[in-house]
Structure 1
Amino acid sequence: MESFTKRVKTFDAFPKVDPQHQVRSKRGGLSTILTYLFGLLILWIEIGGYIGGYVDRQFVVDNVVRSDLTINIDMIVAMPCAFIHTNVEDITRDRFLAGETLNFEGINFFIPLGFKINNPIDFHQTPDLDEVVQESLRAEFRQSSSRINQGAPACHIFGSIPVNQVKGDFRITGKGFGYRDRSHVPFEALNFTHAIQEFSYGDFFPYLNNPLDATGKVTNEKLQAFVYHARVVPTLYEKLGLEVDTNQYSLTENHYVVKTDEISRKLQGIPGIYFRYEFEPIKMIIREKRIPFFQFIVRIGTICGGILVAAGYLFKLYEKLLVIFFGKKFVDQGKEKKEGGLLDKRLPKMSD
């Protein structure tokens, strides 16, 4: 048993330098301490990165066409509710009277504090995974199809509209303009100034930011048309088993004043507010991942070995530079060589 233990002690896959051939110095000790501190820092960063994971973004083909998608809207239009007509029409010519599910509440028009008014909406940033998970509180509007105080100067329109996941548009126009209606809005009463609190697609997450949220347009033109073009990308967020299936969209806008034909005195368009949308055939998946544990261990070993090798070469280069600039005597100062080597021992004199 003792012989086996000695053999194990003697065997070393990475043989060390014998003590009698080692030289100590303050510079070497300092470099060793710095190397260990740097290695511990890298180890701490790698462990934190392994625990925290990383965010993986992928695009896949979206082969599911939903028929239960909703448009969530909360906005104020500077026109009485009794004068407003809402409608949804998609590429299949399927029409849906949005007024049957939306809520119309007559109020006085105002622009909430902090809204961006008459600013171009040309920038949108994909929210971070942590932000989405923290703000993913799903909600629903308390009521639907309610109409209150329709004679007030402005109309608060809010609710969810069921639509198909195909190209289409949601329109807000005046009664009698573009559609046959029992009543016709007087020309002087048209005013499509509006403020949008919420406009999103899919499940209603009121705390997630969208390009049209907290925006608005103010106009003095009676025949003004506001057109918003949205390209919607279905997006799935996944973290720690929690999935948030939502939609994000980029936006372009086009606004113009409808002209009147000088001869027939007919309008060459329909004034109103138009939200045109088109769904992309891809789906973005953003999920948090973590590398396998075995791969993490191999990575740690590789990094630690690389740090030691690099530190050794840097120290040798440092010593060489000192010799070149200051000489060997300066470099040898403060060095301490261990005793016990063959050259350190005095050989006995040979007797005659």
Structure 2
Amino acid sequence: MDAFSKRVKTFDAFPKVDPQHQVRSQRGGLSSLLTYFFGLLILWVEIGGYIGGYVDRQFLVDDVIRSDLSINLDMIVAMPCEFLHTNVEDITKDRFLAGETLNFEGIKFFIPPGFSINNPNDFHETPNLDEVMQESLRAEFSQLGHRVNEGAPACHIFGSIPVNQVKGDFRITAKGFGYRDRSFVPLEALNFSHVIQEFSYGDFFPFLNNPLDATGKVTEENLQIYSYFSKVVPTLYEKLGLEVDTTQYSLTENHHVVRVDPQTKRPRGIPGIYFAYEFEPIKLIIREKRIPFLQFIAKLGTIAGGLIVAAGYFFRLYEKLLVLLFGKRYVEQGKERKEGGLLDKEHSRARE
């Protein structure tokens, strides 16, 4: 049997286990525990990431042709409703009297708490996927073309306006300015101070945040022009089979005071509030995805193998560093040779 063992040892020229792995020590046990701990931690993180998925954002050419779209607004203008004229005109010169679908309610002008007044609206964060799914409660205005108390000091304008999905603008002006009208508002009665509770495009989701929501402008000038320019991007949110098809828009603004011609005593422009919009030919898709299950298993195997290899390298580096600092005798203290395997058992029997 002794001769057989020697032959087998001679034949096994490439040991499958490194010698340092056949020795027990406190440092080796600690390194194993740390390796197991980090392995379980990584496993927990990866499983959580797999269950939660990841958010994929893609820009695609918008191949859906929409014949119409809605502008949703809820705002207060510091002028009586009977003085105001609302109109939509797009690049095709198609005009739509927005007053036929919007609601006009006479109230007193006030600034709701928490509104941003006279600040530039140049910052807006795109809502994340979870926020959109939680707040995507679709709604519609219950009234169309409703008018009440039009002689009050201010006008509450709210509702949805159907428009073509082309470049255009929505205008709020005073009667007698820019359009022929039976009445003419005196210059001293003009006041285009306003607060905006809601301004969005597409389906009406009242709880989603938009750049113009909770903003406003207050002025003491009678001949004030406020211009808002929107770049509208159709956006599709998708999670667990649920879809929210909406839009988001970037915003720039400009405002200035119209001068009066000293000869004609008429303003050289049309004071009012202007919302210009332009639809981008792209669509943003924000979708939650998960990697395939087999790919997830392969990823776990790759991470486990890399962790074991890295732990072995770090342990050997640590052992060599101890040898350099304290000597080999210090490192050998507390080590116990691990016995096991066919060759070790046969060799011990032969010595007995």
Q: TM-score, normalised by structure 1?
A: 0.92
Separation in 2, partners of 1:264, 1:203:
45
- Tell me the equivalent position of 2:3: none
Separation in 2, partners of 1:63, 1:25:
67
- Cα shift readout 1:169-193 (whole Å, capped 9, x = no counterpart): 0000000000001111111110000
- Tell me the equivalent position of 1:301: 301
| Structure 1 residue 203: Cα displacement | 0.2
- Tell me the equivalent position of 1:257: 257
- Cα shift readout 1:135-175 (whole Å, capped 9, x = no counterpart): 00000011110000000000000000000111000000000
Larger deviation, residues 243-252 vs 62-71: 62-71
- SS state of the match for residue 65, structure 2? coil
- Cα shift readout 1:81-115 (whole Å, capped 9, x = no counterpart): 00000000000000000000000000011000000
Which residue identity does 1:128 align to in structure 2? N
Separation in 1, partners of 2:60, 2:119:
34
- Cα shift readout 1:205-237 (whole Å, capped 9, x = no counterpart): 000000000000000000000000011111000
- Tell me the equivalent position of 1:173: 173
Larger deviation, residues 212-221 vs 19-28: 19-28
| Structure 1 residue 68: Cα displacement | 2.4
- Tell me the equivalent position of 1:66: 66
- Tell me the equivalent position of 1:310: 310
Q: CA RMSD in A?
A: 2.1
Matches within 5 A, 1:184-195: 184-195=184-195
Judge conservation of contact 1:19–1:338 (CA < 8 Å) in 2: no
- SS state of the match for residue 191, structure 1? coil
Cα distance 1:343–1:321, how it changes in 2: closer, same or farther (>3 A)?
farther
- Tell me the equivalent position of 1:142: 142
- Tell me the equivalent position of 1:10: none
Please tell me whether residue 325 in structure 1 is matched to residue 316 in structure 2: no
Q: How many residues align?
A: 336
Larger deviation, residues 23-32 vs 264-273: 264-273
Cα distance 1:39–1:82, how it changes in 2: closer, same or farther (>3 A)?
same
- SS state of the match for residue 304, structure 2? helix
Cα distance 1:316–1:278, how it changes in 2: closer, same or farther (>3 A)?
same
- Cα shift readout 1:276-327 (whole Å, capped 9, x = no counterpart): 0011111000000000011001001010011001101110011010001110
Judge conservation of contact 1:20–1:339 (CA < 8 Å) in 2: no
Which residue identity does 2:265 align to in structure 1? R
- SS state of the match for residue 35, structure 2? helix
Cα distance 1:335–1:87, how it changes in 2: closer, same or farther (>3 A)?
same
- Tell me the equivalent position of 1:108: 108
- SS state of the match for residue 232, structure 1? strand
Separation in 1, partners of 2:333, 2:95:
92
Separation in 2, partners of 1:117, 1:237:
31
Cα distance 1:335–1:232, how it changes in 2: closer, same or farther (>3 A)?
same
Larger deviation, residues 108-117 vs 330-339: 330-339
- Tell me the equivalent position of 2:225: 225
Separation in 1, partners of 2:346, 2:328:
21
Larger deviation, residues 17-26 vs 180-189: 17-26
Separation in 2, partners of 1:18, 1:278:
69
- SS state of the match for residue 76, structure 2? strand
- Tell me the equivalent position of 1:281: 281
Separation in 2, partners of 1:129, 1:50:
17
Please tell me whether residue 291 in structure 1 is matched to residue 291 in structure 2: yes
Q: Which runs of 5+ in 1 are unaligned?
A: 1-13
Cα distance 1:18–1:200, how it changes in 2: closer, same or farther (>3 A)?
closer
Judge conservation of contact 2:103–2:146 (CA < 8 Å) in 1: yes
- SS state of the match for residue 308, structure 2? helix
Judge conservation of contact 1:75–1:198 (CA < 8 Å) in 2: yes
| Structure 1 residue 263: Cα displacement | 2.8
Separation in 2, partners of 1:343, 1:332:
26
Which residue identity does 2:169 align to in structure 1? D
Separation in 1, partners of 2:345, 2:245:
75
| Structure 1 residue 21: Cα displacement | 7.8
Which residue identity does 1:123 align to in structure 2? F
Judge conservation of contact 2:22–2:339 (CA < 8 Å) in 1: no
Separation in 2, partners of 1:342, 1:140:
83
Cα distance 1:294–1:30, how it changes in 2: closer, same or farther (>3 A)?
same
- Tell me the equivalent position of 1:214: 214
| Structure 1 residue 261: Cα displacement | 1.9
| Structure 1 residue 272: Cα displacement | 0.2
Q: TM-score, normalised by structure 2?
A: 0.92
Judge conservation of contact 2:76–2:155 (CA < 8 Å) in 1: yes
Cα distance 1:304–1:190, how it changes in 2: closer, same or farther (>3 A)?
same
Q: Which runs of 5+ in 2 are unaligned?
A: 1-13
Separation in 2, partners of 1:312, 1:238:
44
Separation in 1, partners of 2:348, 2:16:
22
Which residue identity does 2:225 align to in structure 1? A
- Tell me the equivalent position of 1:76: 76
